[in-house]
């Protein structure tokens, strides 16, 4: 049974906390991930930090970490990115996902476009673009903590073909984001965090959430997605990191309905409900009348992907037509409200 592999893109300027977040995801998620690292200004440093975190047996490291040091990924899509993705997908059946840590100079759009190329798109789905922002630096007036380091990174890249300004890069990273993480949140006040949200709220797509984090700690499911067969209890908060100052309160739950489903109606209302009820992640299967395979639904923030895919024999199925969704939200009572809205709409 062929399954599409989720690909998560983690972007942000040098010093925004991408590698710290990645180490947390690799060691705490319980998932078997492959990692593509693209920080060429300090060749080998990020790769060494990831290798040393002990996320996999030594004999698997070479197949699980790929370092791309030839320059900014968005400028080397043909030469580096696509061949590397194709190589990783050869062993995709042994992976739970792929995470791409981009250079701070990368424009996310060319990577997303490359993931939709015919040789790639049938084997992956975009699990989300996560943009990290250095809250401390931004509160002091710049999205970059060390401008000299960014300029050195530019000068070290012989393949850089876009001389994009810092502000334009920042805007592009934000507009491409499905989720924005405000790193170093412990270094600023709650008032400063609110000011940051207000300042950049017009630069993101509607439905993109801002989540404060410190030291890379966040529930991995928010970044990597949900396990479909896990038992999610309504309005429960399952994050283990209660002791961290900027713990994110989550609401998780299932919505299961035996109901006649119109795909166009469902896909038109889900983005609206995600925005209205602050849903960060949604995953599900939809059985449509007359279809032998269910429609897979994946949402992170405002991004919706759907495709038909076989499922194991032991999963829940309606007699004829229906939906089975799992969600993570930030609003109490959201699961019940979305359940009612879907029932009314269908």
Indicate the SS3 state at residue 93. Answer: helix
Mean of the per-residue pLDDT values of the chain: 84
| pLDDT computed for residue 159 by the predictor | 56
Alpha helices in the chain (DSSP H): 18-28, 45-51, 61-64, 82-90, 108-114, 118-121, 135-139, 147-155, 166-176, 190-200, 220-224, 263-276, 334-345
Q: How many C-beta atoms surround the C-beta of residue 278 within 10 A?
A: 14
**Both structure tokens of 105:** 């100079």
pTM: 0.87
Query: Dihedral, CA atoms, 107, 110, 114, 115, nearest 10 degrees?
Result: 50
Q: Please check whether residue 224 is in contact with residue 285, taking contact to mean a CB–CB distance below 8 angstroms.
A: no
Q: Please check whether residue 116 is in contact with residue 173, taking contact to mean a CB–CB distance below 8 angstroms.
A: no
Segment of 78-82, 159-163, 196-200 carrying the highest mean pLDDT? 196-200
Of the given ranges (171-175, 188-192, 225-229, 331-335), which has the lowest mean pLDDT?
Answer: 225-229
Question: How many angstroms separate the CA atoms of 34 and 124, rounded?
Answer: 13
Q: How many C-beta atoms surround the C-beta of residue 229 within 10 A?
A: 10
Condensed to tens digits (0 to 9), the pLDDT of residues 304-319 reads: 999 999 988 889 999 9
| pLDDT computed for residue 196 by the predictor | 95
| pLDDT computed for residue 305 by the predictor | 94
Q: How many C-beta atoms surround the C-beta of residue 215 within 10 A?
A: 17
Question: Among all chains, which residue has been given the structure tokens 């989300």?
Answer: 128
> If we measure between CA atoms, which residue out of 78, 114, 103 comes closest to residue 10?
103
Question: Does the pLDDT value for residue 99 go beyond 90?
Answer: yes
| pLDDT computed for residue 51 by the predictor | 65
Where does the pLDDT of residue 106 fall: very low under 50, low under 70, confident under 90, or very high at 90 and above?
A: confident
Q: Please check whether residue 172 is in contact with residue 106, taking contact to mean a CB–CB distance below 8 angstroms.
A: no
Question: Does the pLDDT value for residue 43 go beyond 80?
Answer: no
| pLDDT computed for residue 92 by the predictor | 75
| pLDDT computed for residue 308 by the predictor | 94
| pLDDT computed for residue 117 by the predictor | 85
**Both structure tokens of 141:** 């007036």
In order, the DSSP letters of 224-270 are H---TTS-PPTTB---S-TTSTTPPP-EEEEEEEE----HHHHHHHH
Question: Does the pLDDT value for residue 326 go beyond 70?
Answer: yes
**Both structure tokens of 230:** 């896990």
The backbone torsions φ and ψ at residue 281, rounded to the nearest 5 degrees and listed phi first, read -135, 140
CA-based max dimension of the chain: 62
Q: Please check whether residue 279 is in contact with residue 222, taking contact to mean a CB–CB distance below 8 angstroms.
A: no
In order, the DSSP letters of 41-87 are GGTTHHHHHHHTT--S-GGGHHHHEEE--SS-GGGSIIIIIHHHHHH
Question: Does the pLDDT value for residue 169 go beyond 60?
Answer: yes
Q: At what angle do helices 263-276 and 334-345 cross, to 10 degrees?
A: 150
Domains, the chain, with CATH or none: 5-224 (3.40.50.300), 251-345 (3.30.1220.10)
Find the mean pLDDT for residues 247-261: 89
| pLDDT computed for residue 40 by the predictor | 59
CA angle, 180 then 85 then 285, to 5°: 60
More confident residue, 29 or 227: 29
């Amino acid at each position: 049974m062929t399954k599409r592999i989720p690909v998560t893109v983690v972007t942000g300027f040098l010093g925004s906390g991408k590698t710290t977040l990645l180490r947390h995801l690799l060691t705490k998620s319980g998932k078997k991930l492959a990692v593509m690292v693209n920080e060429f200004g300090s060749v080998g440093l990020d790769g060494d930090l990831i290798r040393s975190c002990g996320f996999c047996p030594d004999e698997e490291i070479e197949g699980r970490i790929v370092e791309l040091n030839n320059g900014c990924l968005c400028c080397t899509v043909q030469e580096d990115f696509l061949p590397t993705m194709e190589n990783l997908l050869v062993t995709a059946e042994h992976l739970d996902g792929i995470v791409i840590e981009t250079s701070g100079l990368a424009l996310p759009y060319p990577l997303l476009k490359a993931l939709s190329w015919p040789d790639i798109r049938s084997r992956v789905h975009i699990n989300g673009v996560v943009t990290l922002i250095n809250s401390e630096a931004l509160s002091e007036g710049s999205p970059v903590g060390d401008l000299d380091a960014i300029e050195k990174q530019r000068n070290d890249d012989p393949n850089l073909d876009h001389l994009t300004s810092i502000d334009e890069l920042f805007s592009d990273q934000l507009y491409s984001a499905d989720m924005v993480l405000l790193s170093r949140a412990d270094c600023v006040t709650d008032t400063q965090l609110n000011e940051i949200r207000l300042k950049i709220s017009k630069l993101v797509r509607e439905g993109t959430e801002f989540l404060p984090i410190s030291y890379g700690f966040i529930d991995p499911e928010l970044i990597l997605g949900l396990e479909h067969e896990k038992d999610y209890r309504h309005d429960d908060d399952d994050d283990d990191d209660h002791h961290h100052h900027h713990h994110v309160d989550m609401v998780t739950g299932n919505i299961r309905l035996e109901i006649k489903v119109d795909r166009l109606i469902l896909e038109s209302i889900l983005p609206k409900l995600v925005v209205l009820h602050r849903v960060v992640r949604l995953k599900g299967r939809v059985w449509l009348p007359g279809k032998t395979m269910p429609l897979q639904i994946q949402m992170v923030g405002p991004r919706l992907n759907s495709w038909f895919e076989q499922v194991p024999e032991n999963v829940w199925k309606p007699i004829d037509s229906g939906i089975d969704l799992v969600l993570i939200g930030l609003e109490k009572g959201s699961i019940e409200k979305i359940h009612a809205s879907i029932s009314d709409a269908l």
